[in-house]
Structure 1
């Protein structure tokens, strides 16, 4: 990754927007999260919005993620002469221009066609590490090709098929992934009423399974499934069933009409739903990773201090403190609250990232002050994607980084290491 630090990103962004304003031009992507969310909802389908914006159960975890940030206030230090800011950080042996990464978000095509490719281009254009989703809509090889030498990591969902796990890892290595991010908190889907009330699961229509349909081991499993004798259950023919078949055919590799006539798209969807994630995932499985890859290993979904301690004892290079954006367990602890407890338990040295609840540059500052080495941004960049494609993702990234830079300048911090707990005051009541 490029090692030139982002100096003056905030001033540059302010100047660009205000100069455009002189010409009567306003930002296509709102600079505040509330308006960004409102506009993105207007241009999104009900199914897309339910999947991307929705959470588990009654939404308590999502609310707690935000309330946790509200409990901390920034304490700016004056006359600190922070004229230049260096936003760069070292992560897993590489220098990153900023402490912001793009979180893996599955089924992005719900928000925009060619979603993963557009996000990849935006990440490369802003020198931001993109964590490719295992539930992506474009094969990882295609996304990597869009990024050139820019930094990317790969998220892994641990399949029931160990051969598929190995195949995905080999492909991640081949595309130059900087780390393997193993998601631990989605061995089964959580209770998501917004999706359930619409009867909508994008994967059942072939959306978000491109890493699988492009994988040689997965293709082998599908062929075995098709060759095996089976009693075919009667399928009720309804308009919805026809639309689903057409969606499967459209989202499957190859020609549309060939896919309509082939049993393969449906078999691929059924195979994916059967094996994509392993409910029996255990620490014994994770202990095999060091034998299976030379990539840095990041375990995502850690909320308990004892799990954090065990992850590092097992040989993980980093962890992501995350509750999956509030999408898996309703009434879970907020990720930011978990970060505080985890950091107190394991000390300052291990690499810890924070995911879930990050909306603004001020949020990034708060997370860094509480012990995160970097953060992952999720929903905001997806909303930018919905509004303005690649440029929308770039705008969201630049806005968050710009606000972080300005917050650092106004709080008297000149680099990421100087952002400490002393710059925060806990709010009570």
Structure 2
């Protein structure tokens, strides 16, 4: 399994998350100021045009304490802001003259065998009574029934399991029930028994909330967490849960590929990618980043279990981006709580807005089937006169390393053996990089996707197959997600000096020219095919040589020993400002030198 322990993005263009705290300015307040609306009064429902508008409306309608409970997030609320901002790192790729005549018919989705009209649902969101004291979560039951979408009822709701169940029976819709594994498990077993009696169709086990989180915003009003009781959490509990129900169980709160794989191995009926809306562990990744990590490293997860997600979804395009990565359906929590200030009609209008946005955005992109989204999502290109913020040195170092290792194997032919080598620039460069302190940059005719595909055709290696899928899956973003600039990885100067001293003493032979027909390495020196190989006299000299010999504003790939890659990265960043590094451990990395300093 290929899992990055460190992803660092130091693009200065992504230097702040403070351009908005709740919703972007789309002219809502300016419009309201031209009407009879007054501050601290609820805007008319007809004036709500987008999902974020409900946030503004809730701030006008709720008390400060009530809004703080809905809006609060963990610690400095970085994850909350990142949930809203991470979508910017994926661009759509509209295709024109595409037939979209059948798009509407692909809007429906099946979740655990239950059919719904749209690929989004109401996530478990507690204390809906703040918005509508009389009806609370019953408005969610009715809106889900009217619009035929899934509602996942919160365990710690304003209304009881029985009250929600009675409304469900009256409306006849499908509901899943959230559960926490309480410190006293008999409480959990009782809640499950009560929910089953009300006809719920599945349980959602929230596994990312071991207890009270650090939530400063809510704490200022002495607002306790709904799930303040300590939860009992362990993988062994899944078997105990199964002993108390025959209903499907979804694990909610998956944030890493490791846990996704373990959930699949444990036989989970579904996994829910979520960081709890940024309310539990600050600096936890957004659902887009989690889905990307799983798609890149273990795409088989999306076939072996049902994958749903939530946290930070506000637009139809957000839903589309997650669908493109393989997520089956997407949940919203806070927005439905905000919409509840309008009573029964609020959640219903939110659903209608999001349905319309999904269809409209998909049509604008040229998607004609929401269940089969082609390559319509990518990361942004470089701005004019700048290096791309996605110009990555070792973005695919590990995937190509696995491809190289798998391709360069020994085959038995009769009684003889032969070495099978994929004849390609990237794999040649990877082989050359194994020479002591050889740094190779890919500048051949083939891009990395072609490299890995060709490698996959040459060998049956699982690593190569994984690499091929990771780089060619439709709709996948082709770069690692951004990490907050305040958590940048800086290679210490002492390390750079140490590497430089070592390199000066162990310089290898033959500088390879990038000019076609240039000199080739001879003897035991490194080989080159359609690429450049630089001996490392010093880190600055390598950077200078790369810039001198490779035309254009962007270095596509660099392979080499990871400590040197780090040092080159720091030097290149110091000279050029904009760059991104993706530093990964190898499979047999026992020294842990892929970890953050």
Normalising by structure 1, report the TM-score.
Answer: 0.74
Other-structure match for 2:426: none
Deviation at 1:82, TM superposition (A): 0.9
Show the counterpart of 1:102: 122
1:298 lines up with 2:319 in the alignment = no
Residue 308 of structure 2 aligns to a residue whose secondary structure is strand
1:425 aligns with 2:378: yes
- Structure 1 residue 346, shift from structure 2 partner: 4.5
- Aligned with 1:354: secondary structure? strand
- Does 1 or 2 have the higher relative contact order (CA < 8 Å, sep 6+)? 1
Q: What CA distance in whole angstroms lies between the structure 1 residues aligned with 2:147 and 2:266?
A: 34
Which has the larger share of helix?
Answer: 1
CA distance in 2, matches of 1:70, 1:44: 30
Runs of 4+ in 1 over 6 A off after TM superposition: none
Equivalent residues of 1:183, 1:301 under 8 A apart: yes
2:320 aligns to what? 365
Q: Deviation of residue 368 (structure 1)? A: 0.7
Preserved contact between residue 188 and residue 277 of structure 1 (Cα < 8 Å): yes
Match of 2:329 in 1: 374
**Is the alpha carbon distance of 1:102 and 1:29 closer, same or farther for their aligned partners in structure 2, counting shifts above 3 Å?**
farther
1:91 matched to 2:111? The reply is yes
Secondary structure at the aligned position of 1:178 is classed as: coil
Correspondence for 1:59: 77
Question: Secondary structure in 2 aligned to 1:299?
Answer: strand
Aligned equivalent of 2:405: none
Does the 8 A contact of 1:29 with 1:392 survive in 2? no
Structure 1: runs of 5 or more not aligned:
1-24, 204-271
1:361: how far off?
Answer: 1.0
**Greater gyration radius:** 2
Choose which of 252, 256, 277 in structure 2 pairs with 1:325: 277
Check conservation: 1:107, 1:202, Cα contact below 8 A: no
Q: 1:354 aligns with which of 306, 309, 312?
A: 309
2:186 to 152, 163, 167: 163
State whether residues 308 and 346 of structure 1, in contact with CA within 8 Å, keep that contact through their aligned partners in structure 2: no
Deviation, 1:297, is: 0.8
Q: Is the CA contact 2:123–2:331 (under 8 Å) kept in the aligned structure 1?
A: yes
Q: Which runs of 5+ in 2 are unaligned?
A: 1-42, 382-388, 390-597
Counterpart of 1:190 in structure 2 is 213
The superposition leaves residues 339-389 of structure 1 with CA deviations (integer Å, 9 ceiling, x where unpaired) of: 111233142302111110100111111111122111011111211112x11
How many angstroms apart in 1 are the aligned matches of 2:208 and 2:68?
A: 20
Of 223, 229, 237 in structure 2, the residue corresponding to residue 200 of structure 1 is: 223
Work out whether residues 117 and 147 of structure 2, in 8 Å CA contact, stay in contact via their aligned partners in 1.
Answer: no
* TM score, norm. by length of structure 2: 0.54
Q: Shift of the alpha carbon at 1:139?
A: 1.4
Q: Where in structure 2 are the equivalents of 1:22-101 lying within 5 Å?
A: 27-28=45-46, 30-84=48-102, 85=104, 86-101=106-121
Q: Does 1:149 align with 2:172?
A: yes
